[in-house]
Chain A
């Protein structure tokens, strides 16, 4: 555990590790002076399951399903990344049709992940109507994912050398008919997000990550792009078949939470257009060039997951079982910048800022407030913290 510097005076808050709403358990130790945050330290590892060590005892096929379960939200990204890496080592390429199907599933995952994130963020600012509205539209994507892959969350669609599930005529028709509906729904969501005063009041100029900070702390994905770093692996280091698809890489320069909302919503339109192009260009042919046996070589495989750059180091040494697998998930990279940004804000802004980097964990429940002067402890749960945050902003408006 990190020792806080002795000089810092003030209250110390522990946020976490248990959370009522959705996200994974995580603790944040936050030092405050009256209402201002002066230091923030995340305590990770509540969901540390030792996956990297487990990978060293299972063979390449078994690892596909273990790595998929690193995260239930970006399960395809991790699995696709691993499959891509092993294919590189084996020296084979997945058939074109398989790569197109991978692109379609990856973009569907981005759609559902971004909508999920926006729902959670609006829940954190107390706008529950919008949250339920977004989750209703998200079900459309979950249904089509279930139709295509057979599962709602851990799709299991990849195999080493291709994909397991083919698209048939009915699925393609269904996807084509879904896309305009989805576009319309997201238009509607964007209209609310742009015009609503609550969202603007809570998110504008909050949690601003400057370009300099984002560069120094190695931020990736939408967190970096909203701060003015024009970097997207789909364009800059194309994988699967992204070099054959036309799309824009969007970026913003403001870096606050509001610009992240708009950026992510705009990315969804690009995703829809990518799926449309991929479906139109879908080639015929096999979907799997099966490979088994021993592999030899080391590689680094990177793809653009919904939250940013996902990096896998895969090392086989003439064996079925990998010698070493290292996974660096995007949240891990974005964490340092969000922690830096918390300093100087109010307690009421913690949920929004922490949620803004789309953490694969996060926690605002059971806040333990330790008042160093009075030697008094009391516990706030997440609902209290949220209500407190909403109350503070209501009072601000009245004043």
Chain B
């Protein structure tokens, strides 16, 4: 029952950890009319206390580190972290900068990476759908022959 409701209404909190805004507008596009992720119950919420999934974009700057950890701690268990974009996954183009931490996984544990600079809204949508699939069945869907 709990799993069912989690899969049917995943609530997201969006956290910009120092990205260029490119990924952020693509996430919003995935929620806006063209794709309309809200028809699957996906909803963007403002408070971490309401959220199930945390979406991170950006390579985590020094100044954001504390905010990322604090927000992550405030999300009730079980919680999932999705990283959108190349720089959030590995540091990307900002690698070796003096102020970035080269990826969200250096700060908090990450469940799913959606690569791309920025990924298309369809890819964001697909990534979240995959996470939900994993939640409901316990394993990742078979993606043989699928090209994203």
Q: Identify B45's interface contact among A18, A20, A23, A152, CB under 8 A.
A: A20
Contact A360/B97 with A19-B16, A139-B34, A381-B46 known, Cβ cut-off 8 Å = no
Report yes or no: A17 in contact with B67, Cβ–Cβ below 8 A: yes
| Residue A374 is within 8 A (CB to CB) of chain B in the complex | no
Report the stretch among A66-74, A83-91, A334-342 that lies at the interface: A66-74
Which A128-175 residues have a C-beta within 8 angstroms of B?
A: 132, 135-136, 139, 142, 152-154
A96 to B26 CA separation, bound complex (whole angstroms): 33
23 A-B residue pairs with CB within 8 Å:
A18-B15, A20-B13, A21-B14, A24-B16, A24-B19, A25-B15, A25-B67, A46-B18, A46-B61, A46-B67, A47-B20, A47-B64, A50-B98, A69-B94, A72-B19, A73-B22, A135-B32, A135-B33, A153-B22, A153-B118, A154-B117, A366-B47, A384-B46
Cβ-based interface call for B44 (8 A)? yes
A65 to B93, CA, bound (A): 8
> Contact between B18 and A72 (Cβ–Cβ < 8 Å)?
no
Most interface-central of A70, A135, A384 (chain B CB within 10 A): A135
Q: Does B29 contact A (CB under 8 A)?
A: yes
Partner of A139, one of B29, B46, B48: B29
Task: Say whether B106 faces chain A, with CB atoms less than 8 Å apart.
Answer: no
Residue A273, interface by CB 8 Å: no
Interchain CB contact under 8 A, B25 and A53: no
Which 3 residue pairs of A and B lie closest in terms of their CB atoms, listed nearest first? Answer: A72-B22, A383-B46, A20-B46
Chain B, 82-105, CB within 8 A of any chain A CB: 87, 93-94, 96-100
B59 interface residue, CB < 8 Å from A?
yes
**Bound CA span A139–B122, Å:** 13
Interface residue? B58 (CB, 8 A): yes
A contact patch SS: loop
Closest CB of chain A to B148's CB: distance in Å? 15
Q: How far is the CB of B55 from chain A (nearest CB, A)?
A: 10
CB distance from A1 to the nearest CB of B (A): 11
Extra contacts besides A20-B45, A49-B99 (20): CB < 8 Å = A17-B63, A17-B64, A18-B48, A18-B71, A21-B14, A21-B28, A22-B24, A24-B19, A46-B64, A47-B18, A47-B19, A49-B18, A50-B98, A50-B100, A66-B93, A73-B21, A139-B34, A152-B118, A153-B118, A154-B117
Contact-size category for A: 35 or more
Specify which of B21, B29, B61 is in contact with A49 (CB 8 Å cutoff): B61
User: A139 — which chain B residues lie within 8 A by C-beta?
Assistant: 29, 32-34
Q: Give the nearest-CB partner of B64 in chain A.
A: A46
With A46-B63, A72-B24 as given contacts, are A136 and B47 in contact (CB-CB < 8 Å)?
A: no
- Is A72's CB under 8 angstroms from B33's CB? no
**A116 adjacent to chain B (CB < 8 Å):** yes
- In the complex, chain B residues whose CB is within 8 Å of the CB of A366: 47
- Is A48's CB within 8 Å of the partner chain B? yes
A200–B58 alpha-carbon span in the complex (Å): 36
Within 8 A of B (CB), among A105-147: 116, 132, 135-136, 139, 142
Minimum Cβ distance to chain A for residue B125 (Å): 14
A245 close to chain B: CB less than 8 A: no
Contact: A72 with B118, CB < 8 Å? yes
Nearest to A65 among chain B residues (CB) is B93
State the CA gap A151–B64 with chains docked (Å): 28
User: In the complex, how many angstroms separate the beta carbon of B97 from the nearest chain A beta carbon?
Assistant: 4
Q: Which of B22, B25, B28, B48 contacts A69 (CB 8 A)?
A: B22
Given A49-B99, A66-B93, answer yes or no on A136-B33 (Cβ-Cβ < 8 Å). Answer: yes
- Determine whether A382 belongs to the interface, using a CB cutoff of 8 Å to chain B: yes
Query: Nearest Cβ distance between residue A46 and chain B, in whole angstroms?
Result: 5
Neighbouring A residues of B20 by C-beta, 8 Å: 47, 69-72, 75, 154
Q: A23 and B46 in contact (CB under 8 A), knowing A53-B98, A136-B34?
A: no
Which interface residue of A24, A360, A365 has the most chain B CB atoms within 10 A?
A24
* Per-residue contact bits, chain A 1-30, to B (CB 8 Å; 1 contact, 0 not): 000000000000000011111111100000
Q: Is B7 an interface residue (CB 8 A)?
A: no
Which residues from A are CB-within-8-Å of B67?
Answer: 17-18, 25, 46
A50 close to B46 (CB less than 8 A): no
**Contact A132 B32, CB 8 Å, known A20-B45, A49-B100:** yes
Q: Which residues of B in the span 27-47 have a Cβ within 8 Å of any Cβ on A?
A: 28-29, 32-34, 44-47
Asked if A194 lies at the interface with its beta carbon under 8 angstroms from chain B, I say no
Check if A285 is an interface residue, CB within 8 A of chain B: no
Least distance between B1 CB and chain A CB atoms (Å): 27
B residues within 8 A CB of A75? 20, 22
| Bound complex: CA A349 to CA B58 (Å) | 29
| Closest Cβ–Cβ distance, residue B52 to chain A (whole Å) | 14
Q: Is B120 an interface residue when CB atoms closer than 8 A count as contact?
A: yes
The reply to whether the CB of B53 lies closer than 8 angstroms to some CB of chain A is no
